[in-house]
Amino acid sequence: MTLIMHNIDPSGDLVVVLKKPNKYRVIPEVWINGEKTRGHVDRTDVETPKMPTGLGDSDVQMTEIEFRVSSKHLKLASVVFDKMLSGPWKEANCTSSLPASEAEGQDMMELTGYADTFIGSIFDLSLPIPAVPVASDYWEISTTGWHAHAFRVVLEVIHGQLRNLPEKVSLEFFTHVAVIANYYHCTEAVSLAARFWRVWNKDIPTSYGKRSIMWLYISWVFSMPITFSNMLGLAVKDGLDLFNITTHDLPVATVLETAEAKRKKAILCLITELAAIERKLIYGQLGCSQKCRSMMIGSLALEKQKNPHLVLKGENDCSSRISLSRVIHAVNSFGPIEWIDPASRFNGAHMCNVTQLMQPVIESVLQVTKLLQLSDFKK
């Protein structure tokens, strides 16, 4: 067993033991689909610049890392740490043995994972968790799995030690910090570092993929409303269904579920409107003449044959392999209908077409994707 020690506060009264470090995976696997191209797995790099692991040359499976810290700083920064470290046991003699009830509580300190913090933490914050007295001058608590260097940076920021703050970080590292800060409910304390990295990192995604999902989570945690709205809009417009995303340990499921619901609703709206236009053409409620309607009905039949996803087979049938952007592109790419009616008093080509009739609903759907706000998820 390799033991690494970091004295965040050399005179601190608390030791946080990180067991099984670097266990969690925060890079999602995302299947993406362009307007024209077939789907593929996003292989964009999110690990540059290369960040320290926090383990040195140690074997990750055989390493424990101890951080000596100030419990006062942790309690002020984090409601989770405050619940852990506050309570009647703090007044007990550090060298005395614990009652059985408190010994059972120690098992809860073995943090074997974290839940999606959009819907709650694995901690029941109404039940304080005792720290473990290990000596007369300090207490000890343990946690499991966090990225070692990211955890160290979070603790240093909480203690006001910004001199060692890395100037530029990889998106993977930034996401690790966001997960830790969100889990311990210390985002306010860490937000200064987050905004510093946000200013330096100007390469914000303009297309959907794993980078946009990671930025979606970061902007949710650290309350970056413009970035959040843009990333959520990309997920709605260009995302596929949730079966095409593996988030691993990134707790972003609830926001992605909302994006998926809006994606399906938008696609359903477009396909339903397309079917409604076809019915109106058949029953003579649209089109300037019988010939005009016949041309548009025939054109629409050919386009649906070429693009089967434009045919709604059931209310919940929004293909997992089709994005909202691809549906819009298909409609906007309908072949032109230009013909001349010899019986008409106009000599020019007849310009009526289904794409033109669909523009109001397309514009309405796209406008909705721009109105998604961070405040809707922070209530």
pLDDT tens digits for range 15-50 = 999 999 999 999 999 998 765 555 789 999 999 999
Contact partners, residue 304, CB within 8 Å, separation at least 6: 310, 311
pLDDT digits (tens, 9 = 90+) for 72-115: 999 999 999 999 898 644 433 343 333 333 333 333 333 333 33
My answer on whether omega of the bond before 49 falls inside 30° of 0, hence cis, is: yes
As a whole number, mean pLDDT of residues 152-166 equals 96
User: pLDDT digit string (tens) for 198-245?
Assistant: 988 778 999 999 999 999 999 999 999 999 999 999 999 999 989 899
- Chain segment 249-289, per-residue pLDDT in tens: 999 999 999 999 999 999 999 999 999 999 999 999 998 88
Is residue 127 pLDDT above 60, yes or no?
A: no
Between the ranges 59-73, 105-119, 127-141, 251-265, where is the mean pLDDT highest?
251-265
φ and ψ of 213, to 5 deg: -70, -40
Over residues 295-347, the pLDDT tens digits come to 899 999 999 999 988 987 765 566 667 899 999 999 999 987 776 666 666 66
**pLDDT band per the 50, 70, 90 thresholds, residue 128:** very low
**Per-residue three-class SS string for the chain:** CEEEEEECCCCCCEEEEEECCCCCCCCCEEEECCCCCCCEECCCCCCCCCCCCCCCCCCHHHEEEEEEECHHHHHHHCHHHHHHHCCHHHHCCCCCCCCHHHHHHHHHHCCCCCCCCCCCCCCCCCCCCCCEECCCCCEEEEEECCCHHHHHHHHHHHCCCCCCCCCCCCHHHHHHHHHHHHHCCCHHHHHHHHHHHHHHCCCCCCCCCHHHHHHHHHHHHCCCHHHHHHHHHHHHHHCCCHHHEECCCCCCHHHHHHHHHHHHHHHHHHHHHHHHHHHHHHCCCCCCCHHHHHHHHHHHHHHHHHCHHHCCCCCCCCCCCCCHHHHHHHHHCCCCCCECCCCCCCCCCECCCHHHHHHHHHHHHHHHHCCCCHHHHCC
How much is the pLDDT for 336? 77
Report the pLDDT value the prediction gives residue 252, as an integer from 0 to 100.
97
CB 135 within 8 A of CB 46: no
Supply the pLDDT for residue 368. Answer: 86
Query: Domain locations in the chain?
Result: 2-251, 264-369
The residues, ordered by sequence, that sit 6+ positions from 297 with a Cβ below 8 Å of its Cβ are: 278, 281, 282
